[in-house]
């Protein structure tokens, strides 16, 4: 049987004008085209079916804050801030069921850029670069099953191949 862990959505973040920061909303819809109510400014690097949703860990945000960084949920562009999932264990190909229906699959680690530098002391945005700091990256996902998500929803993580 596949390993499953449960977490929860602590914040949903969108920016209707595009870019960062993203702002809290109580609920939204995850669609294959992206997160309803959110836009991306640069479609070369953001959005599209394989980057429809961006996720990050609430625990990683808290740890970065403890290091002195002024990061907050949504300030680096994630759509879903999730608590209770061990970010070190999440891999490309893993699936998350979010709420009653939505299912997403992790497709890639994000590559941070200078636009999020304000979230880091001395602009050190590469603190989120997977190659330099494994397990500290935001993640992109494709939507396998569309559905509504709400703050507080359960997130069930299933390892790839499960």
For each of the domains in the chain, give its residue range(s) and CATH number, in order of start: 4-158 (2.40.33.20)
Confidence of residue 44 (pLDDT cuts 50, 70, 90): low
Burial of 72 (0-12, 13-18, 19+ CB in 10 A): middle
How many DSSP H helices and E strands does the chain contain?
1, 11
Range in 43-52, 78-87, 97-106, 143-152 with the lowest mean pLDDT: 43-52
pLDDT > 70? residue 47: no
Report phi then psi at 160, rounded to 5. Answer: -55, 145
Confidence of residue 71 (pLDDT cuts 50, 70, 90): very high
């Amino acid at each position: 049987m596949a390993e499953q862990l449960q977490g929860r959505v602590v914040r949903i973040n969108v920016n209707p004008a595009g870019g960062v920061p993203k702002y809290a909303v109580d609920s939204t819809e995850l669609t294959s085209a992206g997160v309803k109510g959110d836009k991306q400014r640069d479609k070369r690097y953001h959005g599209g079916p394989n980057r429809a949703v961006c996720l990050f860990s609430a625990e990683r945000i808290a740890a970065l804050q403890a290091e002195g960084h002024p990061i907050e949920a949504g300030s680096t562009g994630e759509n879903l801030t999730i608590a209770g999932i061990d970010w070190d264990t999440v891999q490309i190909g893993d699936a998350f069921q979010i709420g009653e229906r939505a299912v997403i699959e992790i497709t890639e680690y994000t590559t941070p850029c200078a636009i999020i530098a304000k979230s880091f002391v001395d602009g050190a945005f590469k603190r989120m670069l997977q190659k330099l700091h494994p397990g500290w990256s935001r993640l992109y996902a494709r939507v396998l099953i569309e559905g509504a998500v709400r703050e507080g929803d359960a997130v069930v993580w299933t390892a790839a191949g499960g």
